[in-house]
Chains A and B, each alone.
Chain A
Amino acid sequence: MRNRICVGAALIIWVLLPVCASAQEYRNATEHFDALKREAKGGTKITWDKLPDWTGIWTRTPGIGLKFDPAQPSLQQTTAQLTPEFARKHKEKLERVAKGIEWDPISNCIPPGYPRWLTEPFLREFALRPEQTLLINEMVNDIRRIYTDGRGHTPEDEAYPLWNGDSVGFWDGDSLVIHTTQLMGGQYQRSQPDYTDQVETVERWRKVDDNTITAEVTIYDPPALVKPWHVVQRYSRVTTPGIRIRSWVCEENANNEVFQTKEGATQHVLPGPGAGPIIRSKPEK
C-alpha cells in the first residue's frame, strides 16, 4: 500500500514538474532561455538520425478560432495580464469590432508577424535539420527560421525589427527550445490585444503524440504585459488524402482586394467575376 502511495506521489510530481518549471519567473526572455539551456547542459547534440519525425502537414487544432490563448474562455476575454494602457486599447478595439469597425493590418497581405504567426490557420509544415528548423505556415508562404547551430542572435548593430524576428534555439532531447527577439509590434490576432516591438518569447516545441505537436510559449513584453504570458498552442496532423501546400500569393484574384473606409472599417473593392489578378502598378495613361 505504502509503495502504491509513493508511486502515486512520484507520478504527481512528474506530471506537475514541467508546470512548476514553466511557472518559474524570470526577469526577461533572455534570462529564461539561458536558464533552460543551462538545465539542458547546453542542449542535445543533434544529428540527422536523432532528429524527431515531424513530417506531415499540420494545422492549428480546430475549434480555437481567433483566440490567441486556446485556454481563454472567449474571443473577447484574454488571459493576458495587460498593463492599463494596453487593457484600454484592447477594450476600445473590442468596442469598435462590435460596431463592425475593424481593419486588419494584414488585409493587403503583409505577413501576420510573430507571435501572431502561432495562431494563423491553414496548413503548416515543419522542416527539421540539425543546424536549423524551418517552421512554415502556408499563409503568405510564411517561414520562421530557427538556427540551432549554436550561433547567437544577430548583433545589435546589424539588427532591425522583423515580422518574424530573429530566432535561435537548441534541442533538449526531442524538444526544440527557441528564443525570439528583434520583432515588430502588432496584434496577437483580430480582437486580441496588441504587442510592442519589445516583445520577446521563449518557446518549447514538442511532438506529444503521432497527431499532435505543442508549443509552450512564454511571452515577455513589459510595456504591454504586467507579467509574462504563458500559453500552449496545439497543432494537429492533417489527414486529408492528397492535401499539399501550394504557393500562396495574395494577388491571385482582384476580388480579394479590400480597402479601409474613412471610419476605419474594411470594405471590398469587388470588381466582379473574371477580375483576374491584382495589378498594383498600373501604366500611366
Chain B
Amino acid sequence: MTRPAIISVVAGVLMCLAAPTSAHHSGAMFEPEKIITLKGVVKEFEYTNPHSWLWVTVTNDDQTMTDWGFEAEGPSTLFRAGIKKSDLKPGDIVTVTGRPMRDGRPAAAWISATKKDGRVLQARTAPVTQRSGN
C-alpha cells in the first residue's frame, strides 16, 4: 500500500473524542492515541449492525487510490447522533477523522466526518474513557 494522503496525524489525544468502542468486539485493534484525518470521496456507507462502515476512496500522494474503511456503531447509535444513511452518499466529498488500525491496514475507528458544506457528523461523542464497548 502506498502512503495515503494523510492530512494530519495527531498523537497524545486520549481524552479527546476518539472512542475505542465496539458493539461486539474489543477496539484494541485500533491505535489508542493516534488520530488521522483523511479527505476523500464516499464509496459506500454500510449502515449495519453491529457496526456501520463508511468507505472513503482516498487519493494517495502518488495519485493511486485506496479505499479506507471507518468503523462506527450500528444504526441506532448513529441515528441518535443524527447520522442517517442519506447523509453520506456515494460521490460525497468528506474529511474523516479516526483512530487508525495498529497493523497499518487502511481502516480506522470513525470519530467524525465533515461534509463539503461544513456539516460535522460526529459518530462518537463520549470521551475515550467513558465509552461503552459494546
Measured CB to CB, the residues of A under 8 A from B are 60, 62-66, 74-75, 97, 100-104, 106-109, 112, 119-123, 138-140, 189-190, 238, 240, 242-243, 245-246, 248-250, 252-253, 255-256, 258, 265-268, 270, 272-274
B126: contacting residue among A62, A123, A243, A273, CB under 8 A: A62
Closest to A112 in B: B134
Please classify the interface of chain B as helix (H, G, I), strand (E, B), loop, or mixed, using the class held by over half of its residues.
loop
Question: Is there an interface contact between A266 and B28, defined as CB atoms closer than 8 Å?
Answer: yes
Question: Is there an interface contact between B69 and A273, defined as CB atoms closer than 8 Å?
Answer: yes
Question: Is there an interface contact between B129 and A75, defined as CB atoms closer than 8 Å?
Answer: yes
B39 interface residue per 8 A CB criterion: no
Interfacial chain B residues near A249, Cβ < 8 Å: 49
B131: contacting residue among A65, A252, A253, CB under 8 A: A65
Closest to B132 in A: A121
Question: Is there an interface contact between A273 and B67, defined as CB atoms closer than 8 Å?
Answer: yes
27 residue pairs of the A-B complex, CB under 8 angstroms, read A65-B132, A66-B132, A66-B133, A66-B134, A74-B129, A102-B26, A104-B25, A109-B24, A119-B132, A139-B23, A240-B80, A243-B80, A245-B76, A246-B76, A252-B48, A253-B46, A255-B69, A256-B24, A256-B48, A258-B25, A258-B29, A265-B26, A266-B29, A270-B69, A270-B105, A273-B43, A273-B46
Closest to B55 in A: A273
**What's the Cα separation between A118 and B27 when bound, in Å?**
20
Interfacial chain B residues near A120, Cβ < 8 Å: 132, 134
A243: contacting residue among B51, B71, B79, CB under 8 A: B79
Q: With both chains docked as a complex, state the minimum distance between the C-beta of A152 and any C-beta of chain B, in angstroms.
A: 32
Question: Is there an interface contact between B134 and A272, defined as CB atoms closer than 8 Å?
Answer: no
Given A250-B50, A265-B29, are A63 and B67 neighbors across the interface (CB < 8 Å)? Answer: no
Question: Is there an interface contact between B28 and A248, defined as CB atoms closer than 8 Å?
Answer: no
Q: Mark B50-74, 1 if CB is under 8 A from A, else 0.
A: 1101010000000000010101001
**What's the Cα separation between A243 and B46 when bound, in Å?**
19
User: For B74, B76, B102, B107, which residue has the most chain A Cβ atoms within 10 angstroms?
Assistant: B76
Contacting residues of chain B (4-55) with chain A, CB-CB under 8 angstroms: 22-26, 28-29, 32, 43-44, 46, 48-51, 53, 55
**What's the Cα separation between A196 and B32 when bound, in Å?**
31
**What's the Cα separation between A166 and B79 when bound, in Å?**
34
Question: Is there an interface contact between B77 and A107, defined as CB atoms closer than 8 Å?
Answer: no
A104: contacting residue among B26, B105, B126, CB under 8 A: B26
Interfacial chain A residues near B121, Cβ < 8 Å: none
Interfacial chain A residues near B74, Cβ < 8 Å: 122, 248
B24: contacting residue among A74, A246, A250, CB under 8 A: A250
Interfacial chain A residues near B24, Cβ < 8 Å: 104, 106-109, 139-140, 250, 256
Q: With both chains docked as a complex, state the minimum distance between the C-beta of B120 and any C-beta of chain A, in angstroms.
A: 18
Question: Is there an interface contact between A253 and B48, defined as CB atoms closer than 8 Å?
Answer: yes
Interfacial chain B residues near A248, Cβ < 8 Å: 49-50, 74
Interfacial chain A residues near B75, Cβ < 8 Å: 246
Q: With both chains docked as a complex, state the minimum distance between the C-beta of B53 and any C-beta of chain A, in angstroms.
A: 5
A268: contacting residue among B50, B67, B107, CB under 8 A: B107
Question: Is there an interface contact between B32 and A243, defined as CB atoms closer than 8 Å?
Answer: no
Question: Is there an interface contact between B44 and A274, defined as CB atoms closer than 8 Å?
Answer: yes
Q: With both chains docked as a complex, state the minimum distance between the C-beta of B128 and any C-beta of chain A, in angstroms.
A: 9
B117 interface residue per 8 A CB criterion: no
A256: contacting residue among B51, B76, B101, B126, CB under 8 A: B51
Question: Is there an interface contact between B134 and A253, defined as CB atoms closer than 8 Å?
Answer: no
**What's the Cα separation between A219 and B69 when bound, in Å?**
41
Other A-B pairs, 12, CB within 8 Å; known A120-B134, A189-B133: A62-B126, A102-B26, A104-B22, A107-B26, A121-B134, A122-B134, A139-B24, A243-B79, A248-B49, A250-B50, A265-B28, A272-B55
